[in-house]
Amino acid sequence: MKLFQQMLVAGASLSLFAPVASQASDVVNIEEMSSYARSQSKSSRFDSKTFTDEVSEDIAILKGRVDGLEVKQREFEAGGFSDTTVMDQKVVFDVGFMNFNETDASNEQTQFAYSYRMNLNTSFTGDDNMYIRILSGNHGEWMKDSNDGGYLTSVGKSNDLQVDKIWYSFPVGENNTVWVGPKIENYYMHGTAPSIYKPVTKQFTLGGNGNAYGASTDTGAGWAYKADNGFAISSNIGTKSKTTTSGTDTGLLTDSSKTSWATQIGYTQPQYAISAIVNQKFNGWADGYLHTASADDALVSGGNHTAYGLRGWWRPDSTGTAAPSISVGYDTTQYDGVTSGTDSSDMWFVGLQWQDIINADDKIGLAFAQPTMHDDETNSPLAYELYYSYKANDNVTVTPTVFGGTDRDGGTEDVFGALLQTTFKF
């Protein structure tokens, strides 16, 4: 601020000397000036000291005001985001119903729920990233029921704002990335995207959200290597270190901790990708949304199992054609310590998606799958969803959807649901 103060002093000085300079060409009467000075001898004198004192006082006042502005500026900057922080927000309105079989006591009434999400990404070096997701919502009943496929991807967990995810990632060398965080899911740390199908119900995420790929937010760490030619390999661990059993925390990677260790290998090109994964799950880890009730019981019983998954996707050169993008998946699982007939299960998935068919940026999605089921189950269930997503404007998207399938509780009756989803991005 020194330069600013000097400019103030210079301006004040020029304003004082300017009247004197403007009269320099006039005739100066020394005698009249002496007479005037004697007549004013009793009044206050204007000398260099007076000038210095007045200017100093003005500068002190201005300096105090400038200092006050600096303090307020620092307070504003401390309460704002850093230059390397990026924030985006989303609000989703979900209105819909789900019709169950006659013996199911679940709530079938029309529900209206919301979710709010704030994503924060911050870099400290330019190459790393701290990710935080703030989540709120009031979904309930069938909108959070994974047994019959009604669990929505937009689900918010409670009306309170919560830190739903938080982790830190950083590069190691040119092609390696490392993740670590107290709230992270396995699939964020994979080197190859298993699917490009964008679902409305969570069971159709990740090329079929069965046993090989799941979605459970817990303590985790992982590593991925991505070569320049599209090859990738990754390995990561998720553990429920804060899950309580018998009233106590299980701890991090203990013998009783529910743990998932996934290793994936894949190859990606602009138009297609293929990948394979092995996911070992211990102590009853269960994180799938596409399964039958009996298969889910085997997972949560406390045993161990190993799931193998194959994934692939392809998309056409351009959108707006009759050819859709295609995502496919298949899982097979082996369970430890269970009776014959229930010691293995499988799942398959197909997702089709058309873009820019009717209007620009619109999407038509169709997915169907066989939920994870044991080999000895006689009734083969089916799950499906069909939606049309269109953009009302740059920030608002409306997506009517129908979904359902056959009963996963061992019965033969169908399940049907309908949903109108409106997404606001800002």
- CA pair distance 254, 242, nearest whole angstrom: 12
- Give strand pairing partners of 306: 280, 334
Co-location of 243 and 269 in the same domain: yes
pLDDT at 14 over 70: no
Highest mean pLDDT among 59-73, 75-89, 167-181: 167-181
How far from the centroid of its chain's Cα atoms is residue 173's Cα?
26
CB 290 within 8 A of CB 296: no
CA 198 to chain centre: 15
Which whole number is the average pLDDT over 382-404?
96
pLDDT one-digit tens code per residue, 52-61: 555 566 666 7
CB 362 within 8 A of CB 381: no
* Per-residue pLDDT tens over the stretch 317-330: 999 999 999 999 99
Looking at the domain assignment, is residue 297 inside a domain? yes
pLDDT of residue 117: 97
Whether the Cβ atoms of residue 159 and residue 165 lie closer than 8 Å to each other? no
At residue 132, the pLDDT reads 97
CB 197 within 8 A of CB 367: yes
Q: Could you give the CA distance from residue 181 to residue 257 in angstroms, rounded to a whole number?
A: 17
Residue after which a domain boundary falls, among 35, 57, 80: 80
pLDDT at 280 over 80: yes
Name the residue type at position 341: G
How many helices and strands (H and E) does the chain possess?
4, 18
CA separation, residue 304 to residues 24, 78, 252, 377 (Å): 102, 49, 17, 21
Asked, for residue 222, whether it belongs to a domain, the answer is yes
Strand partners, 166: 132, 183
Domain boundary among 80, 96, 130: 80
Q: What separation in angstroms does the CA of 160 have from each of 118, 135, 138, 326? A: 13, 8, 9, 38
- Per-residue pLDDT band for 82 (boundaries 50, 70, 90) equals low
Give a three-class secondary structure readout of 327-340.
EEEEEEEEECCCCC
32 within a domain of the structure (yes/no)? no
By residue range, what is the domain housing residue 246? 85-425
Shared domain for 53 and 120, answered yes or no, is no
Q: For residue range 156-179, list pLDDT tens digits in order.
A: 878 889 999 999 999 999 999 999
**DSSP bridge pairs for 330:** 310, 348
Average pLDDT value for residue range 256-278: 95
What tens digit of pLDDT does each residue of 116-158 get?
999 999 999 999 999 999 999 999 888 988 778 889 999 987 8
Considering the domain architecture, whether residues 3 and 118 belong to the same structural domain is answered as no
CA atoms of 114 and 108, how far apart (whole Å): 18
The pLDDT score that the predictor gives to residue 300 is 55
Whole-structure pTM value: 0.78
Residues counted in the chain: 426
Q: Give burial (CB, 10 Å; 0-12/13-18/19+) of 35.
A: exposed
Looking at the fold, whether 155 and 70 belong to one and the same domain comes out as no
287 vs 114, higher pLDDT = 114
**36 occurs within a structural domain:** no
- What is the H or E stretch that residue 298 is in? helix 293-300
**53 & 90 share domain:** no
30 in a structural domain: no
Would you give the DSSP letter of residue 38?
A: H
- 71 pLDDT higher than 60: no
The secondary structure element, H or E, covering residue 68 is helix 48-79
Q: What is the DSSP letter of 254?
A: -
Please check whether residues 60 and 99 belong to one and the same domain. Answer: no
pLDDT digits (tens, 9 = 90+) for 178-192: 999 999 999 999 999
Statement to judge: residues 371 and 335 lie in one domain: yes
* The last residue of a domain, from among 80, 105, 124: 80
Instruction: Yes or no: say if 98 and 138 are a contact pair by the CB < 8 Å rule.
Output: no
At residue 185's C-alpha, the angle toward residues 180 and 187, to 5°, is: 105
In this predicted structure, what is the pLDDT of residue 271?
97
Check whether residue 101 and residue 132 sit in a common domain: yes
Q: Alpha carbon 403 to chain centroid distance?
A: 25
Same structural domain for residues 56 and 104?
no
> Is 92 in the same domain as 237?
yes
Mean pLDDT check: name the lowest of 190-199, 248-257, 402-411. Answer: 248-257
DSSP for 307-326 reads: EEEEEEEE--SSSSSSPPEE
Angle at which helices 2-22 and 48-79 cross, to 10°: 150
The pLDDT-based confidence of 403 (bands split at 50, 70, 90) is very high
Residues 141 and 2 in one domain: no
Residue 317 maps to which CATH number? 2.40.160.10
Contact 374, 345 (CB under 8 A): yes
Q: Is residue 402 within 8 Å of residue 91, measured between CB atoms?
A: no
Mean pLDDT of 298-326: 89
Candidate ranges 26-35, 278-287, 344-353; pick with highest mean pLDDT: 344-353
Residue 262 pLDDT class (50, 70, 90 cuts):
very high
Is position 336 within any domain? yes
DSSP helix/strand/coil, 241: coil
Residues 135 and 236 in one domain: yes
Instruction: Assess if residue 265 is contained within a domain.
Output: yes
Structure tokens at 229: 């030619």
Give 406's pLDDT tier (boundaries 50, 70, 90). Answer: confident
State the number of CA atoms in the 13 A half-sphere of 257 facing the CB.
Answer: 18
Encode pLDDT of 210-260 as tens digits: 999 988 888 999 999 999 999 999 999 998 876 554 556 677 777 778 899
> What is the band of 109 on the pLDDT scale with cuts at 50, 70, 90?
confident
The pLDDT of residue 296 is 66
288: left (phi over 0), alpha (psi -120 to 50) or beta: beta
The verdict on residue 6 lying in a domain is yes
Domain count, the chain: 2
